[in-house]
Copies of this chain bind each other. A is one copy, B any other.
Amino acid sequence: MSDLSPLPAMPGQRLARGTGRLLRSLDHAVLTEFTPVRGLRVDLISLGPKGELWVVECKSCRADFQADRKWQGYLDWCDRYFWAVDCDFPTDLLPDDTGLIHADAFGAEITRMAPEHRLSGPRRTKVQRDFARAAALRLQVMCDPGALIAGAS
């Protein structure tokens, strides 16, 4: 089967692409590089058909994981939290009570489902609104680059 997209340059982007495809196959809509609150930016966030919000951080190697001082802050912004790693990643490093996805650039699978910690209603509403706005603002600029002149974002 041919693939229509060029391979992303960075290891983390390759994991994100494959994970994004997995999430889509689960009927989740995916957004990369999302900022739920100032100072935190997640690699992937997805929104399921019932409003479920999942966050996935992509880690390309041990050092990439060990340099991450912020991941526990992400738990407050999703119902389920996952790591996405490649098949060579030392998964013993990762906390047992988080989800695990094995990915490459072409696809991914869930190795361990993340436990669910459901967001409060107001927070879910806020994240969904911010998700919607971020996705639509990016989409508009891709379809009409001239729109950038019109807005601040």
Residues of A participating in the B interface, judged by any CB pair closer than 8 Å: 1, 3-5, 17, 20-22, 24-25, 27, 29-32, 47, 49, 51, 106-107, 125, 128-129, 131-140, 142-147, 149-153
- Picked from B20, B47, B51, B140, the residue with its CB within 8 Å of the CB of A144 is B20
Q: Is the CB of A137 within 8 A of B24?
A: yes
In the complex, chain B residues whose CB is within 8 Å of the CB of A135: 29, 132, 135-136, 139
State the majority secondary structure of interface residues on A.
Answer: helix
15 additional A-B residue pairs with CB within 8 Å, beyond A1-B149, A29-B135: A4-B146, A17-B147, A21-B144, A24-B140, A24-B147, A25-B151, A27-B152, A29-B133, A30-B136, A31-B136, A32-B143, A47-B132, A107-B150, A128-B129, A135-B136
Q: How many copies of the shown chain assemble into the complex?
A: 2
